[in-house]
Structure 1
Amino acid sequence: MSEGSGGSERENEPRRYDECTWPEIDAAAEDGATVLVPVGATEDHGPHLPLDVDRRIVEAVCEPAAAAREDVLLFPTIDHGYLPHHMDFPGGITIDWRTFVEYVIDVCVSLSHHGFEKILLVNGHGSNHHLLELVTRQVILQYPDVHCAFLSWWQLEDVREVAAAVREAGPQGSAHAGEMETSIYMHLYPDRVDMDAAVRDVSYPESRHFNNLDLAGESRPDDSTPVTMMEWWSTISETGVMGDATVASAETGELLLEAAVEGLESVLEEFASHPIREIDDHHARTVENAEYDPFRPR
């Protein structure tokens, strides 16, 4: 864990990308290393949690997973994400979606330029999710011989299994700053959580079709309902919380974090050996110098 974590100190530290020399980077790319890129955000998480929740949790998932594998380089965390709908609560730093997408593409294209063929983005903020999907698609279009992939840590099957077994909150109890995030943060940084200020806020009405968000739900948050409509945060939450933070515990957080780390380690193991296949262009005729070329860097 990061310094100050409530968990036990690891024997091994991850191999950090930015602490390598350029010959070490060149050798790592030649050896087929995977670059693991945590992506977070800075935003309100209710009256009981600091603004750094999305960054701290995704780092706590990535660091031990990277440390467990010699073939992984841990990239510096991308701290800020896309959250304009949270700007009606103080503190958030939002990056325009075009700027965010282009920035992360540039990071991944730079890594590809240096010879890395395996890049995995791990997301810690819900509204980055679909933008990171766009990033990874664009990178592969520009570099067909590179695997650039992403996941949001709460999607991991290991996390969902543990959440189903230990959760105390009901439906929508872990959408934002609720049981799940509060529990993990309590495990990591117990002195930074004000449980006296923790609330249960499920003021957003349950709906058959709209935005039944829950990180610990049976369905993934991006397909839990057929219609997605992200409104301004103050119109769907009175406190900034969407869920039940009052039932959170450090013990639950430890179990969830362990599951996330184990799940990510499993992903990294398979990702490293997943074959990169050559494109087989089935066109009988192609036009050179066409105005639109999906493989041309933009």
Structure 2
Amino acid sequence: MSVLRLSDVSWAAMRAALDAGRRTAVFAVGSTEQHGPHLPLRTDALLGDALVTRLAPRLGEVVVGPTVPFGVATHHMAFPGTITLDTETFQAVVLQYVRSLASHGFETVLVVPSHGGNFGPLAQLLESTGGEVGGARFVPYTDLAAFVAVLERVGRDDGIPPEVSGSHAGEAETSIVLAERPDLVDMSAAVRGFDGVFDDEVAQRIFTGGTAALSANGVLGDARPADAARGARYLEALTDLLAGFFAPVLEGRP
């Protein structure tokens, strides 16, 4: 099934799609932030694009909206190029995006976070809205632990421990970008960063001092073992996770 991208068609074509029954939209919320010395600042937005592109055909006749390229990334602001929104602004952007879609006749809007800092604010937004925005169902994915667990499982299957696959710019994210946009990866600059156990104490250090408190190069993990074929498997496994979550939501929908 072809992917219908809202930003690639005319308003007339979008009206025709709505009249034909395409009343579900999906979009990703990423970030523009440092990803070590070897990955582009747009890594999380690129991941969001990749996920919704793979997810859409598995959900039926949905419309793919443009990925929001900014998120809540205050913990990366020690690194030049990072752009962050505060939580309230991020939530306001998501709300206005969903309201805009609802005003045109979309009945269900699915949101895929591809940056860790966006999961919590989306969960708060789901609670505060009760899952309804502008007359449309608002359905964000919010389970960061399950998202990370999928990456860890795929890595372990290839002998990559979680400390290496990493929570930021490590083997996992580097492999994904190698699979999608190898031209944007500088593997000659790939390095090891913080590769200890990511426990509550480490999370608190990031909360208080940002990523730089753990890693001077911005990497949490080790990027050097990255592999494009494994990156494709990461993407497929994440798509399976998201499809398993969203498909029941859409059961019986046009």
Q: SS in structure 1 opposite 2:244?
A: helix
Contact 1:39 1:123 in 2 (8 A): yes
Decide whether aligned partners of structure 1 residues 65 and 181 sit closer, same or farther in structure 2, where only a CA change above 3 A counts.
same
- The 2-side partners of 1:116 and 1:29 are apart by 11
The one-letter code of the counterpart of 2:215 is S
Give 1:185 shift. 0.6
- The 1-side partners of 2:175 and 2:194 are apart by 17
1:210 corresponding residue in structure 2: 201
- The 2-side partners of 1:64 and 1:24 are apart by 21
2:211 corresponding residue in structure 1: 233
1:271 corresponding residue in structure 2: 249
Which of 1, 10, 17 does residue 6 from structure 2 map onto? 17
Contact 2:175 2:230 in 1 (8 A): yes
Instruction: Structure 2: state its 5+ residue gaps.
Output: none
1:33 corresponding residue in structure 2: 23
Contact 1:183 1:249 in 2 (8 A): yes
- The 2-side partners of 1:66 and 1:153 are apart by 19
Instruction: Structure 1: state its 5+ residue gaps.
Output: 1-11, 213-224, 276-298
Q: Deviations over 1:246-282 (max 9, x none)?
A: 111112111111222233333332221279xxxxxxx
2:95 corresponding residue in structure 1: 105
- The 1-side partners of 2:23 and 2:16 are apart by 10
Contact 1:105 1:138 in 2 (8 A): no
1:48-127 alignment to 2 at 5 Å? Answer: 48-127=38-117
Q: Which is higher, the Rg of structure 1 or of structure 2?
A: 1
Give 1:148 shift. 1.3
Decide whether aligned partners of structure 1 residues 142 and 152 sit closer, same or farther in structure 2, where only a CA change above 3 A counts.
closer
Count of residues in Structure 1 that have an aligned counterpart in Structure 2: 250
Q: Deviations over 1:205-249 (max 9, x none)?
A: 64753246xxxxxxxxxxxx9x98353221111101011111111
Give 1:140 shift. 3.3
- The 1-side partners of 2:152 and 2:19 are apart by 33
Give 1:72 shift. 0.8
Q: Deviations over 1:184-206 (max 9, x none)?
A: 11111223211121111116x64
- The 2-side partners of 1:121 and 1:202 are apart by 30
Contact 2:70 2:83 in 1 (8 A): yes
Q: SS in structure 2 opposite 1:36?
A: strand
Give 1:96 shift. 2.3
- The 1-side partners of 2:184 and 2:170 are apart by 16
Give 1:32 shift. 6.0
Give 1:151 shift. 2.1
Contact 1:173 1:202 in 2 (8 A): no
Given the two structures, how large is their TM-score scaled by the length of structure 1?
A: 0.73
1:163-202 alignment to 2 at 5 Å? Answer: 163-171=155-163, 173-202=165-194
Of 260-269 and 92-101, the range deviating more from structure 2: 260-269
Q: Deviations over 1:47-71 (max 9, x none)?
A: 1111111011111111122134442
Contact 2:152 2:161 in 1 (8 A): no
Contact 1:17 1:25 in 2 (8 A): no
Of 150-159 and 184-193, the range deviating more from structure 2: 150-159
Of 106-115 and 184-193, the range deviating more from structure 2: 106-115
- The 1-side partners of 2:131 and 2:240 are apart by 30
Quote the RMSD (CA, aligned, Å). 3.0
Given the two structures, how large is their TM-score scaled by the length of structure 2?
A: 0.84
